[in-house]
A and B are shown apart, each in its own frame.
Chain A
Amino acid sequence: AQSVAQPEDQVNVAEGNPLTVKCTYSVSGNPYLFWYVQYPNRGLQFLLKYITGDNLVKGSYGFEAEFNKSQTSFHLKKPSALVSDSALYFCAVRWNSGNTPLVFGKGTRLSVIA
């Protein structure tokens, strides 16, 4: 069965510092991996995805993530955090085909402190 783990409930980082939000997955075959962000009182916004190809993927708002097959990880990163990045971040995985739903991690709350 597919599953996603986000080991940190909360990540605190100072503005201007690099940030990492961790995600590991368990899925048979080749996973499709995603990151979403949820700002307060909003729905989910797509940030980036890994389907195939280059292990380093870049997405919206300066975020990037690295797919590591051997460690079954897909950590979200940003070189320099902004206060406006403070939000709830979800990692998700789906089976490597279309028409299958996403399985979500529990979410990590990122707090960027000025």
Chain B
Amino acid sequence: SAVISQKPSRDICQRGTSLTIQCQVDSQVTMMFWYRQQPGQSLTLIATANQGSEATYESGFVIDKFPISRPNLTFSTLTVSNMSPEDSSIYLCSVEDRVGYTIYFGEGSWLTVV
């Protein structure tokens, strides 16, 4: 299975600021998926990130608010821009195991906006 490292693991952020979350994978992967888990809720897909192309965003998520970079096959970043308390969530990076179709998750980045 893929080993996924996310940074930061936790942060407390000031309203109006932006934070970039990094996701590093120990193997080359085609697609990376970014999810958000709001407190007490399930996971919602933010966007799918393919190396070398623009990320594809789900309804309700826009590039200006959640810009994503995917510079190579093992790395991606998600920025949460102009944060408000409603952005307090766990943000999770995930990748697909090429062989077994399983999607694996990082430990998540736990953001609290004050």
Contacts and interface: CB of A to CB of B under 8 A. Distances in A.
Contacts, number: 57
Determine which residue in B41, B42, B106, B110 has the highest number of CB atoms from chain A within 10 A of its CB, and name it.
B42
Given A42-B107, A43-B107, A99-B30, A104 B101 contact: no
A114 B48 CA distance: 42
A104 B42 contact: yes
A105 B108 CA distance: 18
A43 B106 contact: yes
A101 B41 CA distance: 18
B103 interface: yes
A45 B102 CA distance: 11
Interface string B82-114: 000000001010101010111111111010000
Interface string B6-30: 0000000000000000000000001
A59 B42 CA distance: 22
Contacts of B102: 34, 46, 49
A32 B101 contact: yes
B96 to A, nearest CB: 6
Contacts of B103: 34, 46, 94, 101-102
Q: Which DSSP category, helix, strand, loop or mixed, fits chain B's interface?
A: strand
A46 to B, nearest CB: 6
Nearest to B58: A101
B105 A43 contact: yes
Nearest to A97: B101
B42 A106 contact: yes
A90 to B, nearest CB: 7
A113 interface: no
B84 to A, nearest CB: 23
Interface string B67-92: 00000000000000000000000101
A44 interface: yes
Contacts of B107: 42-43
Given A49-B102, A90-B43, A99-B31, 5 more contacts: A43-B92, A45-B105, A46-B1, A49-B100, A107-B42
